[in-house]
Amino acid sequence: MSASSPPVVGIIGGGQLGRMLALEAPRLSLSVRCLDKAGAASPTGFLSKAGAVAGGLKEAAALRELAEGCDVVTMEIEHVSVPALEELERAGVNVQPSAGTIRIIQDKLLQKNHFQASGVALGEYRDCPDVASVEEAARDFGLPLMLKSRKEGYDGRGNAVLRDEADAGRLFGELAASSAGSGVYCEKWCPFVDELAVMVVKSANGDVQAYPTVTAIQRDSVCRVVVAPARCSAEARARAEAVASKAIASLGPGASGVFGVELFLLESGEVLLNEVAPRPHNTGHYTQDACAVSQFENHLRAVAGMKLGSTEMSVGAAAMVNVLGHSSGTEEGTLEVMELAAGMPGATVHWYGKDGCKAGRKMGHVNLTAPSAPELEATLLPLLACLGLDPA
């Protein structure tokens, strides 16, 4: 492996997160090389100065080709092959976050076990190796019960809500079949009043810094809107940042980069961890326009061994609105909200350059900034109305 100048960051995955990392790289005098099945035609490949490898994210040979000439290899998705990452590490490649960290995080049950052993606040959960264990958990934890595939889940795919014990066999069978043999576990239903998220950046030398807590508004398990700072008490925000920082600090020295920490806020003000993503995260997009150093820049700084940048907001209030493919599946319908936002004060549009528009596909986002939360409403409310979203 030969280090070149400027240093090269390899990114496993070529979607929008990789693309937004690639956009930040030149200012840090870094260049990017990515791996994606669409290679140079992927949203990240288009911006990859150090080349784009066309191949599967779980193919060891493709990962070896990606690592050629890279100073560090990182990822924009956690659904990768841990043995292939371990092989890179054995060959002397610097993988950040490390294969060991990804092993824990990509399996939601191992993740829960790790955070519980580290004293991080989280709800009750249990391994469910068979239908009988689901039925037993339903009796112990009550209904509804959240069933989850251990691996490969995203946007709620891989989750199923058990509302009637009679459905245990069917739901268990469906999840077991869809999780590629990774197994199923369950979580006690969490009666949260809001979903919060905190981006945390960690350097290899153990410096851990949290961005401000945000409110993440989800519809059908998909993040639609993020509001920063979160719409909750200052105490709850501080508690969320403390839980998130403790979780990420517990990952140890092999874990550098940014991490998206999803949390539940309970009526009591208590905050519980939901899950962690070992990469830039949808709930951190607001940092591009609301913080001096975005989650993408800080991820690059962390994995490249540079000093971390400030995680403070440089504006009083911000929001992020996801632009999903219109239900018609057309680009015209999807662009409507972008066009509305384009002329608004404090709005920045981000378009991902995907090869096609499908209903529900993440096509872009709009960031809004304002001096204060009441002033943010002037731009946020018309965008929500355009998307048919209820402002509550």
Binding residues for ligand ATP, rule: CB under 6 A, are 123, 146, 148, 153-159, 187, 189-190, 195, 218, 221, 262, 274-275
Tell me the site size for Mg ion, rule CB under 5 A. Answer: 1
- By a kind-dependent CB cut-off of 5 to 8 A, residue 218 interacts, out of Mg ion, ligand ATP, none, with ligand ATP
Query: Site map for Mg ion, 31-70, x if CB under 5 A?
Result: ----------------------------------------
Q: How far is the CB of 216 from ligand ATP (least distance, A)?
A: 7
Shortest reach from residue 157's CB to ligand ATP, in Å: 6
Task: Please give the residue whose beta carbon sits closest to Mg ion in the complex.
Answer: 262
Residue 325, token pair as written in the block: 């493919």
Short-list 3, 2, 225, 59, CA closest to 13 = 59
- Determine the Cα–Cα distance for residues 24 and 251; give it in Å rounded to an integer: 26
Q: CB of 57: closest distance to Mg ion in angstroms? A: 16
**Other beta carbons within 10 Å of 238:** 13
Q: List the single partner that 297 binds among Mg ion, ligand ATP, none, CB under 5 to 8 Å by kind.
A: none
Residues 281-320: x where in contact with Mg ion by CB under 5 A, - otherwise, as a string = ----------------------------------------
**The two three-digit tokens of residue 228, written as one number:** 């920063």
Region 225-264 residues binding Mg ion, contact defined as CB under 5 A: 262
Query: Which of ligand ATP, Mg ion, none binds 221 (CB below 5-8 Å, type-dependent)?
Result: ligand ATP
Closest listed residue to residue 290, CA positions, set 321, 316, 323: 316
Question: How far is it, in rounded angstroms, from Cα 237 to Cα 239?
Answer: 5
Measured distance CA(258)–CA(260) in Å, rounded: 7
The rounded distance, in Å, linking the Cα atoms of 279 and 257 is 7
Q: Which residue reads 């956690």 in tokens?
A: 78
Q: What span, in angstroms and rounded, lies between the C-alpha atoms of 305 and 170?
A: 48
Site residues, Mg ion (CB under 5 A) = 262
